[in-house]
Amino acid sequence: MNEKHTFLCVPALEKKKDKDAVDYDDIEYLKITDKTLYEHLQKHDQNNINEFIEYLNKEIFHHIQGEVKKAKDMEAWDENNMWYGPNRRFVQWFQMKNIDPESRVYKELSDDSLWAIADDMRYRKQKGEFKSYREAYRWAEKNRSTFNVPNITASKLERAYHKWKSEGRVGEKKTSKVSIPLMITNKMRFQLSMLGYDREEMKHLTPKQCWEIINRGVPKKPSRERGRNQ
């Protein structure tokens, strides 16, 4: 394993059963070796490690939630399930910090104008993803950002859309570029796995390459070796 992209974490600082208090001898480090996480840590979080901790916990929690869903689908979900304790502890952590586990720490950045984002969110509401336009705008407030307006709010989106509409530009062709996530998300990994890509292959793909593969939607052809073994 390449140690170049390794960093240490402290999962929790808890007192041991045979002690009355917590001290530094109780610290147990967790070693994580992951090129994408390491580069993300170095690039964005030198001055705010708490943001990276939140991001990392959300990534782990999303994986746990996937395992929880599998267990429930197989009717094997109860207190004895191996994911029951971790799931409960992560839920408690988010509740204590007043953090929405579905919100993004690092927002999806694009060069879209506010009216274009508002229009996209209205379209997603019409497709049934949200119950109201206001809910759609609030989702964008937590998950979207632009170069010109880093701090998007639901009110700004609402005003931008109505201004655009009042100027008679409804239906105008949007010229903004499609935004690509800065990181390979769990949803993207799942979509790639459905197209025949394994985790080892995903490690060598950039977010842009993943995005292009998913948008093409063409399943990966099995290798000759894999074909022989099946």
Taking only the tens place, the pLDDT of each residue in 130-158 is 889 999 898 888 777 776 676 788 898 99
Domain end among 44, 66, 97: 97
Q: Structurally, how many domains does the chain consist of?
A: 3
Q: Write down the pLDDT at residue 228.
A: 44
Domain end among 50, 77, 97: 97
Q: Long-range contacts: 147-152, Cβ < 8 Å, 24+?
A: 147/109, 147/110, 147/111, 148/111, 148/113, 149/114, 152/114, 152/117
Say yes or no: 10 and 76 in one domain. yes
Say yes or no: 87 and 12 in one domain. yes
Say yes or no: 32 and 9 in one domain. yes
Say yes or no: 39 and 11 in one domain. yes
Which residue segment(s) compose the domain that 20 sits in?
3-97
Low-confidence ranges of the chain (pLDDT < 70): 1-2, 11-28, 40, 43-48, 104-111, 147-148, 150, 168-183, 221-230
Say yes or no: 89 and 156 in one domain. no
Say yes or no: 56 and 75 in one domain. yes
Phi-psi region of 109 (alpha: psi -120 to 50; beta: other; left: phi over 0): beta
The answer as to whether 226 is a domain residue is: no
Among 100, 199, 160, which residue's Cα sits nearest to residue 152? 160
Say yes or no: 21 and 56 in one domain. yes
The answer as to whether 227 is a domain residue is: no
The answer as to whether 228 is a domain residue is: no
Say yes or no: 66 and 88 in one domain. yes
Say yes or no: 86 and 11 in one domain. yes
The answer as to whether 177 is a domain residue is: no
- Hunting for tokens 């639901």 — which residue is that? 154
Q: How far apart are CA 110 and CA 144, in angstroms?
A: 8
Q: Half-sphere exposure of 67 toward its Cβ, with a 13 Å CA cutoff?
A: 14
Say yes or no: 74 and 159 in one domain. no
The answer as to whether 102 is a domain residue is: no
Say yes or no: 55 and 90 in one domain. yes
Query: Which DSSP helix (H) or strand (E) runs through 55?
Result: helix 49-73
The answer as to whether 42 is a domain residue is: yes
Say yes or no: 62 and 124 in one domain. no
